[in-house]
Each structure stands twice: as C-alpha cells, then as structure tokens.
C-alpha cells in the first residue's frame, strides 16, 4: 500500500544534475520514491532515483556526533554541544597559531543553493578565511571557465534539455549520459527518431556511444586535436557560417590559422580517429541546419581542460551553431547541484551571483547584503587541490571543515591526501554516513539528507528547482545550516547567520541581484507555480531566461570569443614502465563517491565492486583473464581490481570507475597535474601499467 509522507509538495532526486522530479511515499511501511511528471524527466527515473529513499532509513546512518579523545583513539559518541564546542575550540586554536587562513572549508556540488551560499559566507564572514573551495573544482571547473571566457557566462546548458530533440546533429565529447544522466537519454532517442545524427567521441564504446550514428574512438587526451581537425575539415569544405562569425563573434582569424595546421592525416595520427570518420562527423555537424556540441569530463578533466573546451566552442561557433534555437555548446554537469553549487560563493574566487571576489564592486555589493565592511572580506584563495596540498603544513590549513564531499574517494592521489589530512590539527566532517573521509576525521557531525529539509537546487540547464521537506530528520541529526549557525555563534559571529533555508534563499536573492547568476526575481512560490525558473531572472516580473544567448552573448560587447588553442599532450603520456593510458569515469548504479549509493542494496547488487576494463587481446598477452584480479600501477600508487575484458575499449586504454575507496580506488592512481586556468586535476588520462595480481 502506498501512502504520502507527512510533508506536502514534491522533491527532486538527490543524485545527478537531471534533478528528476519525484515524490516520497510510504510503501508497505517503508519510505520509497515515486516518479513525478515534470517538464524535464517527464515521469522518468533511473535505478538510482527509484532507490533513493533507502539511505534515509539505513541502519548504518549516523545518529549522533562522533569524536576522538586523542589522535588515534577510536571515534566515540558525543553530544552536539560537546562536539560543536570542540570544533569551535579547534578552529580558535588554529587561528591563534596561523591566523584566519589556518582554518579551511571544503564544500560540495551536491549541497543545495542555500547551503552552498551559507558555506561561502561562513568562510568569509564567520571565519575570515580565504581557504574555501569545493569538489566542483574537480568536476565543472574547465567547462565553466571556458564558457565564461568565450560566451560571457557559465550556464552548463544555455538551453532547455527539451531543445535536444530539435538538433539535427549532436556531438557529445567525453560524456556518457546513458549512465551518468540516464533519464536524459529519452531526448537523445527522440532526436534520433526525428532523423537527427548523434556523434559520440569517447575512448570507450560506452552505452551512449552504442546509441550513436557515429562513434569516434579517440586516444585519451587528444580532444583538442579532434576539435581542430573537425574545424579544419569544416573550413576546407565550406561548412563554416561566415555570416554568423562576422556578425556575432571575435577572434576567428587566429583560431582559423591554428586549425589550418590540423589536416586530417595529422589528426588521424594524433587521435587515432580515421580520416573518413573525421570528415563524416564534420559534414554531419556542418550540414545540419541545427546542431549542438556537448562536452563532458572527458576533455575537461585534463591539464589542458579549458583549452579543450575552447576548441569545441570554437568549432560550434565556426559552424554558426551557437546562440540560435536548437543549437549551442553546452557542458554536461554531473553533480546534483553542480550548476547552482558553483554560482553562489563556495568557490575559492567567487561571491554569490557568480560575482568575483577579486572585483571591488562585487565585494562591495555582497558585503552590503552581509552587513560587513568589504575590506574585511578575504581575497581569493587557492583552488581545491592546492588547498588540500597545504593541509597540515605550518603556513597552510591546520583545521579543515568538510561538508558534502567524500575527499578520500573523490580527490586525486588519495594516499597522499590521506597523509595531508592526518597532518591536520583537526579534521571535521559533516556527513549522514561514516564515509571514507568521515572515518578518518577527528569530529564527525551527522547531518540531514535531501528530503529532510527544504531548499533549492539548479539543474544542468540552469532551471532553479524546489525540494520540499517531506520527512523530518531522525532524532540526533541536524541540518548543515544548523551546524554552521551553531559554529558561527560559538565564534562570536552568530548574528550574521540564519539557519532557516527560506531566509537563506531570500538573502541569496539579494546577494545575487545584479550578478551574472541573478536569482533576484526567483521566489519559492514562482518555482512551485512555474515548474522551475531559469536564471538569470533579475525581477519578479521577469520570465526567466531559458536561452540566454539568442540575442547576444553575455560578454561586454555581446560577441562570442574564439580562443586560439592548440592540441597539447597530457601531463603524462604512456612510455617505458607505464605503457598504457588510464582513464576514469562512472557506472550506472553509483553516484560520485558512492557514499549513498554503495549503501543501497539493489545498486550494490548491480555494481558491487570496482573493476578495470581492458581489451581482451591486451589482457591475453599479459596473462589477465576475465574476472581475475589485476594490479594497476601509476607513478602515484597501485590499485587491485577485478578485470573485465571488453572489446569496447581501445587497445592502449584502461578504464576504472571512481566510486570506491580502499585498494580498488581509482584515485589512488590519478594525476593531480592541474590545468593552469581552471585548476582542475587531470583525472582523465595518466600513464599506467597492468599485470596479474
């Protein structure tokens, strides 16, 4: 028997950036999810969504704070007052030793807009530290930087996902939405049914690549060369839209000169993509009356991730397929609030509304809302990886608060990170579960899950959505906002903060007013009545902006910018001792670091353990058999994983999903080499060897 839960109104999935609409119901005495019809998911959920209620009543859920009496002592239950007092005392002690920057804050792209906003304000006003960043730096930073520079605005999809079926051709590069955003596949299927062409560029023949008209199985790390080769063919074969370039862009000449040097034979040598496929793809995109180019973490999580994204933006601009109906470049956000989470101030260099912490006018505008002197706001701080690298060093972060992130699974080179975290004076983790990171913490604070509090999130197309509180948190659990408010009070800054999510959103609206990500006109009532509102939305009379670039780009002169970028090799190329590429990604059954999904029985049954994909011919030559254990070694560490032999992967490439910690953790192996602009680590390509374990 299915009954509604005590709350009213619906919610949205706690996992990916589709943010499918759902209800929470009681089915045979247990909480369960039910799909809700909505313009985005149209009544669909994937297996993660169908099982999303299970972690709410998990038997391993944390219901009381935990703390250690000394380093190395076991975690023991504590009262909230004892734990919060200890956190505040540790933060004060760290500040006495190293000043305000000795306390660091690390957030997450799954936090609601209200919590992301509050965390940024807590760092700048509550702690006065410049050391705050979040796991979106590991995810969306390259696409965001390229979008901001080329188009003037970082809106992951600058069009509603319902526009996808109207595109005559779609190129997806380094993204596997069939597993990472499964419900979006209905739009790709519709596009194919309408006669559209789908091109997928990926080193693996993924579930998405299997849907495609054309699969370009490129060598890892050669994305920019592929884009330049496509542009070269488009120029050669008169597929570019010169009128569009003239009217709406700048900088084409320099980009064209570089593309001229990427003739098909050269691009085939670099990428491994046959010339015939390169030419076919360029013609599909160029000859379609409408087309989209969508990049994912494949090209973006590289030490040249921003340039890679620019190369594909250049291609879309040259074809005149941006800023027009059913056209555009977009970047497919993965995390649940990956879009909103990067708009309101938990990034190292950013203030609410996508304002810059380095801009005096932006600082003054936000400081006025916060009621503080702008000069008291700290300057921009280091990026996520650099912040983590500083942990435990005399001049670095001595005390770290982690909220909404499982670093010891999600960050690169996790064993080195573990040593850095152990060198801290205190590590504080807010989490509903004893994640790998929480298990190493000195103090663990049990916090509410998604449906236990109201708040907004912004999906991958920039639509702001409202989640209602439908089930109260269990006794002993508090919201992240209550934790921050309580800490601010103990640090003498409580008057600046509210823990009420509705009040936080009203404050966020004011703080974002006039910024790029302007939420001033968005109210919870409007979100409810209009099934979400697209930002920017500067006033309550404004309809919202589903397609921001139709008339002009968000740059000062309204024109999109070409960036003259070259192909550059990844920081590590295969060679002696490490002859293969290792790349990482996700599987259908799990979300990010798996903190929730690895605790769902049905999901674990489908994807119970980490694995390595390897081509059978390569495996045979090395004595590795299907289901046997294999050891992968990189310059940073080794992992032991079960081998899956598949002809869907290139001969020179290994693939490991990153949802697990322990001996099978993909991020034991990954390279922390950073992109110079976005500071994203190079998760997507490093040199590795494999042997039987």
Site residues, ligand SF4 (CB under 6 A): 13, 15-16, 18-20, 41, 45-46, 48-49, 181-183
Which is nearer to ligand SF4, 94 or 465 (by Cβ)?
465
Which is nearer to ligand SF4, 34 or 513 (by Cβ)?
34
d(CA 322, CA 151): 10
- Give least dist CB 305 to ligand SF4, A: 23
Rg (CA), the chain: 24
Alpha helices for 491-547 (secondary structure H): 501-512, 524-530
Which is nearer to ligand SF4, 16 or 399 (by Cβ)?
16
- Give least dist CB 605 to ligand SF4, A: 17
Which is nearer to ligand SF4, 413 or 592 (by Cβ)?
592
Which is nearer to ligand SF4, 4 or 43 (by Cβ)?
43
d(CA 598, CA 55): 10
- Give least dist CB 18 to ligand SF4, A: 4
- Give least dist CB 183 to ligand SF4, A: 4
Which is nearer to ligand SF4, 177 or 536 (by Cβ)?
177
Nearest residue to ligand SF4, scored by beta-carbon proximity: 49
Q: In what order do the strands lie in the sheet with 328-331?
A: 214-216, 197-201, 169-173, 291-295, 328-331
- Give least dist CB 575 to ligand SF4, A: 38
Which is nearer to ligand SF4, 46 or 643 (by Cβ)?
46
d(CA 423, CA 659): 25
d(CA 178, CA 227): 23
- Give least dist CB 44 to ligand SF4, A: 7
Which is nearer to ligand SF4, 126 or 532 (by Cβ)?
532
Half-sphere exposure of 512 (CA within 13 A, CB side): 31
- Give least dist CB 411 to ligand SF4, A: 22
- Give least dist CB 560 to ligand SF4, A: 30
Which is nearer to ligand SF4, 181 or 225 (by Cβ)?
181
Q: Are 458 and 343 in contact (CB under 8 A)?
A: yes
- Give least dist CB 111 to ligand SF4, A: 16
Helix (H) or strand (E) holding 132: strand 132-134
Phi-psi region at 639: left, alpha or beta (left = phi > 0; alpha = psi -120 to 50): beta
Residues 6 or more apart whose Cβ sits within 8 Å of residue 438: 62, 406, 429, 431, 444
Half-sphere exposure of 30 (CA within 13 A, CB side): 11
Helix (H) or strand (E) holding 367: helix 360-370
d(CA 121, CA 118): 5
d(CA 567, CA 319): 20
């Amino acid at each position: 028997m299915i009954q509604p839960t005590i709350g009213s109104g619906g919610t949205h999935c706690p996992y990916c950036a589709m943010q499918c609409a759902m209800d929470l119901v009681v089915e045979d005495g247990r909480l369960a999810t039910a799909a809700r019809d909505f313009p985005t998911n149209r009544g669909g959920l994937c297996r993660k969504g169908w099982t999303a209620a299970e972690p709410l009543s998990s038997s391993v859920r944390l219901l009381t704070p935990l703390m250690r009496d000394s380093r190395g002592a076991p975690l023991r239950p504590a009262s909230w007052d004892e734990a919060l007092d200890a956190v505040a005392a540790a933060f004060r002690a760290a500040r006495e030793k190293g000043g305000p920057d000795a306390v660091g804050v690390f957030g997450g792209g799954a936090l609601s807009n209200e919590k992301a906003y509050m965390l940024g304000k807590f760092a700048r006003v509550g702690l006065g530290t410049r050391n705050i960043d979040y796991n979106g730096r590991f995810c969306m930073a390259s696409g965001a930087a390229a979008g901001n520079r080329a188009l003037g605005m970082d809106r992951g999809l600058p069009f509603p996902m319902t526009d996808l079926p109207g595109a005559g051709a779609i190129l997806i590069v380094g993204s596997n939405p069939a597993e990472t955003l499964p419900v979006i596949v209905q739009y790709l299927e519709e596009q194919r049914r309408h006669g559209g062409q789908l091109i997928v560029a990926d080193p693996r023949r993924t579930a998405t690549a299997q849907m495609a008209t054309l699969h370009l199985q490129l060598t890892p790390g050669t994305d920019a060369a592929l884009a330049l080769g496509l542009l070269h063919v488009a120029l050669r074969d008169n597929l570019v839209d010169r009128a569009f370039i003239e009217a709406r862009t700048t900088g084409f000449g320099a980009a064209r000169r570089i593309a001229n040097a990427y003739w098909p034979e050269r691009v085939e040598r670099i990428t491994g993509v046959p010339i015939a496929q390169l030419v076919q793809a360029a013609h599909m995109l160029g000859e379609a009356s409408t087309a989209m180019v969508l990049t994912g973490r494949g090209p973006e999580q590289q030490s040249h991730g921003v340039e890679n994204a620019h190369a594909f933006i250049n291609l879309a601009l040259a074809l005149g397929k941006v800023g027009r109906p059913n056209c555009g470049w977009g970047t497919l956000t993965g995390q649940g609030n990956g879009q909103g989470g990067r708009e309101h101030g938990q990034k190292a260099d950013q203030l609410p509304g996508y304002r810059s912490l380095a801009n005096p006018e932006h600082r003054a505008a936000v400081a006025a809302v916060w009621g503080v002197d702008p000069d008291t706001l700290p300057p921009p701080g280091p990026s996520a990886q650099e912040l983590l690298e500083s942990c435990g060093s005399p001049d670095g972060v001595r005390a770290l608060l982690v909220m909404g992130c499982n670093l010891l699974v999600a960050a690169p080179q996790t064993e080195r990170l573990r040593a850095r975290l152990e060198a801290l004076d205190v590590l504080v983790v807010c989490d509903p579960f004893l994640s790998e990171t929480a298990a190493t913490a000195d103090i663990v604070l049990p916090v509410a899950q998604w449906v236990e509090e109201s708040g907004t999130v912004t999906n991958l197309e920039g639509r702001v959505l409202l989640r209602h509180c439908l089930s109260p948190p269990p006794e002993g659990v508090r919201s992240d906002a209550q934790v921050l408010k309580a800490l601010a009070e103990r640090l003498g800054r409580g008057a600046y903060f509210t823990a009420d999510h509705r009040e936080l959103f009203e404050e966020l609206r004011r703080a974002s007013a006039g910024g790029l990500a302007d939420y001033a006109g968005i109210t919870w009532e409007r979100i409810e009545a209009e099934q979400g509102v697209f930002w920017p939305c500067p006033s309550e009379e404004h309809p919202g902006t589903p397609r921001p670039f139709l008339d002009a780009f968000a740059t000062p002169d309204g024109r999109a910018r070409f960036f003259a970028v070259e192909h550059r090799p990844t920081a590590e190329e295969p060679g002696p001792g490490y002859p293969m590429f290792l790349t990482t990604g996700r599987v259908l059954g799990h979300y990010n670091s798996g903190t929730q999904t690895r605790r769902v029985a049905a999901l674990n049954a489908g994807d119970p353990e980490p694995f390595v994909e390897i081509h059978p011919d390569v495996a045979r030559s090395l004595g590795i058999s299907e289901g046997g254990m294999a050891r992968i070694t990189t310059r940073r560490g080794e992992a032991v994983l079960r081998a899956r032999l598949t002809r869907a992967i290139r001969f020179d490439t290994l693939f490991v999903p990153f949802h697990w910690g322990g001996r099978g953790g993909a991020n034991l192996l990954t390279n922390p080499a950073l992109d110079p602009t976005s500071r994203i680590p190079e998760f997507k390509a490093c040199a590795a060897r494999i042997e039987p374990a």
